[in-house]
Structures are given as structure tokens and as C-alpha cells.
Copies of this chain bind each other. A is one copy, B any other.
């Protein structure tokens, strides 16, 4: 019943898989060996039936009446998500957000290797953040030629996003994580682009708060 192709996996499931993965890593670090879908549910804030449905989409990883072996499930998820091979990452724009991401504890645990960060600020070129060297943006092209980078993270000012993105063609980069508010489009479909708009979150919370309060009044 195991599905080895993983075609047509909805993004909703993928996002949750990432949550399960972190949750399993945390559980593993406490010495726990088995975990129930109801435990994952509590830890991730996702219903247990959804957890099970998601996992059965890829295979049968559990032991009925007992739960899931944490190590086994974790490595299965890693395989599914492509986390079992190291991904080489660069970051472009070492401002506050960029620096925050370089220091983010979650990244190192998931087989992502930051090779370098790029910026234009003379005072930081040559230094390093969390052992990742900061290079001048002028060196980007040459760096991409001599290194097999798979992912680029964009944390430059929005108005520069397009220009920088155009420099990422014709190299080994397959994915772009765009934290600028510019919407980048993968015109030729050569890479996968993920746009993340942080300021959107505040607007969404504004609406949801309004809704929450209204619903409460009605009750």
C-alpha cells in the first residue's frame, strides 16, 4: 500500500508533515521511543484523525494499539520531504531578518547547510554570523558557479528582490524562499518559489480577532 511516488501531495499535508517532524525531533530528544497520534495532536495542535490520515497517505508507519516508533516515523518523514540529503543554502541580505534566520535554531536540525550570506554593507563583509561567512553581493555569481547551491533565501529590501532573483538563473538553485513583500513568479518554472509575507500575518490576525470577538458576543 506504500506510495513511493508522492505525486500530487497537497501542500496542506506537506506543511503538517514539517510540524510532525519537529515534534518527533523534540520527542526523540527526551528519550521517548514511541508516540501516539493523539500525542502528536496535542503537541502540534492538529487533530489526531488528520495526523493519521496524513501519514497513511505515504504508508503504514504505525503499530496498531501502540503508536508510532519515533525514529522510524521521523526518518520516513525525512525521506518523504527530501530532508535525508543535505541541502546547501545561501542567504541574500544579511540585515536583521537575514541575521535572525542565520541564527534560527530550527534550520540546522533539518539538514540545511548555510554556505554563505551575501550583503552590501561594508562593515559586515568578511565577518560571519553563526559561522556563516558574509560575502559581498558582487561575489554571488562566482560563488554560484563554484558551489552547488540548492536553495536561496531572499531577505533583501523588497524593491531589490526582482534584480537579485534574476541573478539566480542558470545555476544549481532549485528553490527560493522569498521574505520580501515582492511577489516573485517562477516565469520559466525552473525553480520553486515560496513567498512569505510577514506583514500579511498582522492583517490576518486583525481580521481573526474581530471575528473571534463577534462570535463570542453571539454566544
Measured CB to CB, the residues of A under 8 A from B are 5-7, 9, 11, 14-15, 17-19, 21-22, 43-45, 80-83, 87, 89, 95-97, 99-101, 103-107, 110, 112, 150-151, 153, 158, 174-175, 177, 181, 183, 185, 189, 191-192, 194-216
Can you name 14 A-B pairs with beta carbons within 8 Å? A7-B214, A9-B211, A17-B203, A18-B200, A45-B195, A82-B210, A101-B198, A110-B203, A110-B206, A151-B209, A153-B202, A174-B213, A192-B212, A194-B204
A-B CB proximity, top 3 nearest? A106-B199, A96-B100, A97-B100
Q: Given A183-B45, A212-B191, A214-B7, do A202 and B97 touch, yes or no (CB 8 Å)?
A: no
Give the CA-CA distance A45 to B151 in the complex, in Å: 21
On whether the beta carbons of B183 and A205 are closer than 8 Å, the reply is: no
Instruction: Select which of B82, B103, B104, B189 is within 8 A of A206 by beta carbon.
Output: B82
Minimum Cβ distance to chain B for residue A186 (Å): 9
Contact between chains at B18 and A215 (CB < 8 Å): no
Contacts of A214 in B (CB 8 A): 5-7
Contact indicator B9/A43 (Cβ below 8 Å): no
A198: B residues at CB distance < 8 A: 101, 104, 106, 196
Q: Are B96 and A199 in contact (CB under 8 A)?
A: no
For the complex formed, measure the closest distance between the CB of A17 and the CB atoms of chain B, giving whole angstroms: 7
A82 adjacent to B207 (CB under 8 Å): yes
Asked whether B107 lies within 8 Å of A103 as measured between CB atoms, the reply is no
Q: A96-B97, A100-B100 are in contact. List 14 more A-B contacts (CB 8 A).
A: A6-B214, A11-B208, A14-B207, A18-B200, A22-B199, A45-B185, A82-B207, A96-B96, A104-B199, A106-B200, A107-B199, A110-B203, A112-B202, A191-B209
Contact between B177 and A192, CB atoms less than 8 A apart:
no
